[in-house]
Structure 1
Amino acid sequence: MRSGVVLAQVPVTLFTVVMGLCGFTLALRAGEAAAGLTHFLSGAAHMLTLAVFGVVAVAYLAKAVRHPGTVAEEWRHPVSLAFFPAISISLVLFSLVMLDVVPGIAHALFLVAVPAQLVLTLAVVSGWIGSRSFEHGHLTPAWFIPAVGNVIVAIAGVPMGYVEVSWFFAAVGLMFWVVLLTLVMNRLIFHDPLPERLQPTLVILVAPPAVGYLAWVGLVGDVDAFARVLLNLAYLFVLIVAAQVPRLAALSFSLSSWALSFPVAAVTVASFTHAEAVGSGAHAAIGFGLLAVLLAIIAGLLWRTGQALARGVLFGG
Structure 2
Amino acid sequence: MNNEEKKTGWLENFPVLLFTVIMGYSGLTLALQIAGEVYLSKITLLITTCLFLLILLIYIMKIIVCRNSVIHEWQHPIKISFFPAISISILLLSMLFKTFSIEIATILWLVGIAAQTLLALSVLANWIGNRPYETIHISPAWFIPTVGNIIAAAGGVDLGFIQISWIFFSAGVIFWILLLTLVFNRLIFHDPLPERMVPTLAILVAPPAVTFLAWIKFNGGNVDSMAHAMYGASLAFLALTLTQARLLIKLAFSLSWWALSFPFAALVSATMIYGTALNSQLHLLLGRAGVFLLFLLIVGLSLRTVLAFFRKEICMPD
TM-score (norm 2): 0.95
Q: Distance in 2 between matches of 1:120 and 1:46?
A: 25
Larger displacement relative to structure 2 (138-147 or 243-252): 243-252
Q: Distance in 1 between matches of 2:100 and 2:114?
A: 23
Residue of structure 2 in register with 1:27 after alignment:
31
Distance 1:255 1:149, change over 3 A: same
Residue of structure 2 in register with 1:10 after alignment:
14
Residue of structure 2 in register with 1:131 after alignment:
130
Pair 1:265 & 2:269 matched: no
Q: Distance in 2 between matches of 1:189 and 1:297?
A: 29
**Amino acid of the structure 1 residue aligned with 2:237:** F
The percentage of counterpart residues that share the same residue type is: 43
Q: 1:305-316 to 2 correspondence within 5 Å?
A: 305-316=305-316
The alpha carbon displacement at 1:160 in A equals 0.8
Q: Distance in 2 between matches of 1:201 and 1:24?
A: 18
Cα pair 1:27 1:268 within 8 Å, conserved: yes
Q: Distance in 2 between matches of 1:111 and 1:306?
A: 32
Q: 1:21-100 to 2 correspondence within 5 Å?
A: 21-31=25-35, 33=36, 38-100=37-99
Residue of structure 2 in register with 1:278 after alignment:
278
The alpha carbon displacement at 1:95 in A equals 1.0
Residue of structure 1 in register with 2:242 after alignment:
242
The alpha carbon displacement at 1:287 in A equals 1.1
**Amino acid of the structure 2 residue aligned with 1:6:** W
Q: Distance in 1 between matches of 2:290 and 2:178?
A: 28
Residue of structure 2 in register with 1:301 after alignment:
301
The alpha carbon displacement at 1:306 in A equals 1.3
**Amino acid of the structure 2 residue aligned with 1:197:** R
The alpha carbon displacement at 1:246 in A equals 2.5
Cα pair 2:261 2:298 within 8 Å, conserved: yes
**Amino acid of the structure 2 residue aligned with 1:163:** I
Residue of structure 2 in register with 1:105 after alignment:
104
The alpha carbon displacement at 1:220 in A equals 2.0
**Structure 2 residue ranges without an equivalent (≥5):** none
Q: Distance in 2 between matches of 1:182 and 1:227?
A: 21
**Amino acid of the structure 2 residue aligned with 1:165:** I
**Amino acid of the structure 1 residue aligned with 2:273:** T
RMSD in angstroms over aligned alpha carbons? 1.2
Q: Distance in 2 between matches of 1:213 and 1:258?
A: 22
**Amino acid of the structure 1 residue aligned with 2:21:** V
Q: Counterpart of 1:315 in 2: which secondary structure?
A: coil
The alpha carbon displacement at 1:239 in A equals 1.1
Q: Counterpart of 1:314 in 2: which secondary structure?
A: coil
**Amino acid of the structure 2 residue aligned with 1:118:** T
The alpha carbon displacement at 1:276 in A equals 1.2
Cα pair 2:234 2:267 within 8 Å, conserved: yes
CA deviation map 1:261-317 (0-9, x unaligned): 000000000111111112111211221232233122112101101111222332236
**Structure 1 residue ranges without an equivalent (≥5):** none
Q: Counterpart of 2:201 in 1: which secondary structure?
A: helix
**Amino acid of the structure 1 residue aligned with 2:99:** D
Larger displacement relative to structure 2 (1-10 or 157-166): 1-10
Q: Distance in 1 between matches of 2:189 and 2:266?
A: 28
Cα pair 1:255 1:315 within 8 Å, conserved: no
Larger displacement relative to structure 2 (69-78 or 237-246): 237-246
Cα pair 2:29 2:41 within 8 Å, conserved: yes
Q: Distance in 1 between matches of 2:112 and 2:132?
A: 29
Q: Distance in 2 between matches of 1:49 and 1:39?
A: 15
The alpha carbon displacement at 1:103 in A equals 2.6
Q: Distance in 2 between matches of 1:157 and 1:299?
A: 30
- Number of matched pairs: 312
TM-score (norm 1): 0.95
**Amino acid of the structure 2 residue aligned with 1:71:** V
The alpha carbon displacement at 1:187 in A equals 0.7
Cα pair 2:11 2:315 within 8 Å, conserved: no
